[in-house]
Amino acid sequence: DVKVTQSSRYLVKRTGEKVFLECVQDMDHENMFWYRQDPGLGLRLIYFSYDVKMKEKGDIPEGYSVSREKKERFSLILESASTNQTSMYLCASTTNTEAFFGQGTRLTVV
């Protein structure tokens, strides 16, 4: 079974803090994605990576950055957290087709 693990299930951070969300997959997939999920807005793509040290912006990259130093790990970084970044964050690892999701990190910025 493919396993995609996100480091935290729940996080509470203060406005202005730098936040790291970690995602690790164990299937040697090249493609990894970060989405945020908000009610009524579905899954919106923040960033994705198709190889180590490679990254591409998704639909809503503003306020975020990513890091892919190793194939199995894809990190999402909130440089200076703001309240409008309170959301559920989902990491996914994919073959060329099927996406396998992590369990999600519910981030609250206060």
Residue ranges that bind another protein, judged by CB under 8 A:
30-31, 33, 35, 40-45, 48, 50, 54, 56, 58-59, 90, 92, 94, 96-99, 101-104
The CB-of-50 to another protein minimum distance in angstroms stands at: 3
Report the candidate in 34, 15, 38 with the shortest Cα–Cα distance to residue 23: 34
Of 17 and 27, nearer to another protein (C-beta) is 27
Of 27 and 41, nearer to another protein (C-beta) is 41
The CB-of-37 to another protein minimum distance in angstroms stands at: 9
Regarding beta strands 10-13 and 105-109, do their DSSP bridges make them parallel or antiparallel, or are they unpaired? parallel
The CB-of-78 to another protein minimum distance in angstroms stands at: 21
Please, what is the Cα angle at 31 between 27 and 35, to 5 degrees? 110
Tokens 């994919």, residue located: 94
Of 75 and 94, nearer to another protein (C-beta) is 94
Of 1 and 69, nearer to another protein (C-beta) is 1
Beta strands in the chain (DSSP E): 4-6, 10-13, 19-25, 31-38, 42-49, 56-57, 64-70, 73-78, 87-94, 99-101, 105-109
The CB-of-51 to another protein minimum distance in angstroms stands at: 8
